[in-house]
Amino acid sequence: MSGSVREKKQTQKKLVFGRISVDKLNGNDRSGLSGELNKYEGVIINFLWLIMLVLIISDALICLLFGQATFKGNVFLVQGIILAFMVASILIRVLVIGKKQIKPGLSYIIIKLVDILLLVILVNIVNHGYMFYFAILLPIISICITRGFKTSVPYLGVAFVFHIAVYFIVHRFDNIFYLEYFTTQHAQYLFLIGILYLIFLVFLRIIGTYYNQFSQNEKDNQNLVDQLGNKYAQLEEARKEKQDQYDKLKEVNLQLEDSNKKLTSSIAEFFTLQQISQAISSIFDMNELLQFVNDIIIGVMGVSTSNIALYGSGSDRLKVQVSNIYNKKERAILTDNINTPYLKDAVDKGTTILNNTVNPDDFDFTRGRNIRSLLCVPFLVKGKSHGCVLIEHTIPEAFDEDNVRLLEIITQQISIAIDNARLYEQLQEFANTDGLTQIYNRVFFQNRLQHELEQAQQLGYEVSVILYDIDNFKRFNDTYGHLFGDIVLKTLAKLVKESIRKDDIVARFGGEEFIVLLPHTGKELAYEKAEELRKKISELTIRDQSIEASVTVSMGVSTFPTLAQTELTLINSADEALYVAKKSGKNCVRTANPA
């Protein structure tokens, strides 16, 4: 409310200032008469004394130089007194009243009458005064110019009365003011004076026309000033309205820019999440998925580095899985110190870290890497943390709340993908694993064997298999029961799994039969490995509560491409070698014959 009042007052001030400026420009003053007209009256008043002085001096010079009249000291004294009165009158106006124009009123009338009377007396007591009768008209001219013809007519009448009265007074005291031009023909003199004042009247009428025209111009100017003032007020209101419209448009534009910025950000976020969703649905390899997502984060966030760290299976330590750091030294600093207490504690609790003024003392993995800002968001699946995304920048104050929100949305998507990938791995493991012995099943073995033989054929290396089964296993089941038979199967599977190499695999082939795949292994090494396994199994004692028993196995060995040329012949030849081992008394190893 106060703001609108203030604006209204400022507008009013501007309007007043505008009108005053226009008035000054046109030379108008609405409080009194025109400055142009008053200027003429001031000039006439200020020079009346000079005119009277010229009259007196000229009269004295005429008397002295030309001898046309007798110089009389008493007349000159009276003339001096009149001049002194005129000068005193002017001084009073200048010193007492000042430079202000005297307003119409009693003071103005008295001053003008005094000026007229002094001039009438002076022109009547000088020789050849009739030549200077025009001087009587000067104060009246100023009245006509500044007040108009009608106002000046009474003053002209008073001047005429003064003239006649002074004439008779001076004529009465002719012995004092003896003037050569005085005549006893009063009627003729009065007639001439009347004619003269008629001429004065006509002259004033002409001047009055000038006053009327000037007054009309002044009124026209004043009307024009009023119109200009109104126009100025209208223009000011229009300008204010346009300014208000501009301010509103500016505010709307800022809102649109903000909305456009938010919309652009939302579209970018939507596109990013769409790309991640497509990756989740199409990329099943965990490392490939994490690398793809990491590249998206780098592009969207515009960061210096982006890293994804996950907890290992059954481990409480973070391990960097994906990173765009290619400098070996800096990457080593990150991987060696990723489990710094402050960061790890936040990840374990599922808390986001936003730090735009990184202190290396708080984050050991930033030492010597010129990291000024970092943002860490954990992967949370069902309230459990699986790792984190760590993005870093070399400039301070690089991240804001919008970055936090977007990265948290991305990590939610990745968390789902990680959980799905781990579930998929578990399902794959369940599908590929024998439920009893927890080793690979026959389906997985067949697929792996096919892949391994293709690689061996391309790269030119040997692949061997060991096919074995438990001797007299039916007797175990009949004697000790199927539960103990299951314990025997699980015990032998575990023993063989722990006795083979990392790249070797053991699978349950069916019933009590097992098979071992040995890549990069010839028939001699395969035979030696089979003998090693057979001896370990024969020396093994299996216990379950009060039951205690030992078992033996028979084994058949075959090698690709030395002894078999295809997957089918490899398995068949190993099976034939196993059959030979059974016929040979069991608990022995036999190698297949070349195809």
Token pair 């020789």 is found at 127
Question: How far from 56 is each of 71, 164, 165, CA to CA, in Å?
Answer: 12, 21, 21
Q: Please state whether beta strands 553-560 and 547-550 pair in parallel, antiparallel, or not at all (unpaired).
A: unpaired
Q: Which two tokens stand for residue 233?
A: 């007020």
Asked, as a colleague might, if the bond just before 341 is cis with ω within 30 of 0, I would say no
Rounded Cα gap, residues 340 and 388, in angstroms? 13
CA-to-CA distance for 222 and 209, rounded, in angstroms? 20
Set 257, 512, 539, 548: catalytic member: 512
Nearest to 403 by CA among 467, 353, 463, 345: 353
* Phi, psi (degrees; rounded to nearest 5) at 383: 80, 0
Closest CA to 112 of 156, 52, 47, 60: 156
Counting other chains too, the contacts that 313-317 makes at CB distance below 8 Å and 24 or more residues apart are none
Q: For the chain, how long is the longest CA-to-CA vector?
A: 195
Residues contacting residue 67 through CB under 8 Å, at least 6 positions apart: none
CB environment 45-77: b (16+ within 10 A), e (fewer): beebbebbbebbeebbebbeeeeebeebeebbe
**How far is residue 559's CA from residue 554's CA, in Å, rounded to a whole number?**
17
Could you tell me which residues come within 8 angstroms of residue 406 by beta carbon, excluding any fewer than 6 positions away? Answer: 269, 272, 300, 301
Q: Is the dihedral of CA 129, 131, 134, 138 positive or negative?
A: negative
DSSP letter at 385 equals: E
- Do 62 and 68 touch, CB atoms closer than 8 A? yes
- ∠ CA(383), CA(387), CA(390), 5° rounding? 125
CA pseudo-torsion sign 108, 114, 117, 118: negative
Q: Tell me the residue type at 542.
A: I
Q: Can you tell me the distance from the alpha carbon of 46 to that of 93, in angstroms, rounded to the nearest whole number?
A: 10
Q: Provide the b/e sequence for 280-291 (b: ≥16 CB within 10 Å).
A: beebeebeebbb
Angle at 54 between CA 51 and CA 56, to 5 degrees: 110
Half-sphere exposure of 254 (CA within 13 A, CB side): 5
Helix H or strand E encompassing 451: helix 442-459
- Give dist(CA 161, CA 154) in Å, integer: 11
Kindly report the backbone phi and psi dihedral angles of residue 321, in degrees, each rounded to the nearest multiple of 5, phi listed first: -90, -45
Asked if 512 is an active-site residue, the reply is yes
- Tell me which DSSP letter residue 319 carries: E
From the list 585, 559, 584, 581, the residue with the least C-alpha distance to 469 is 581
Strands 463-470 and 553-560: antiparallel
Catalytic annotation, residues: 512
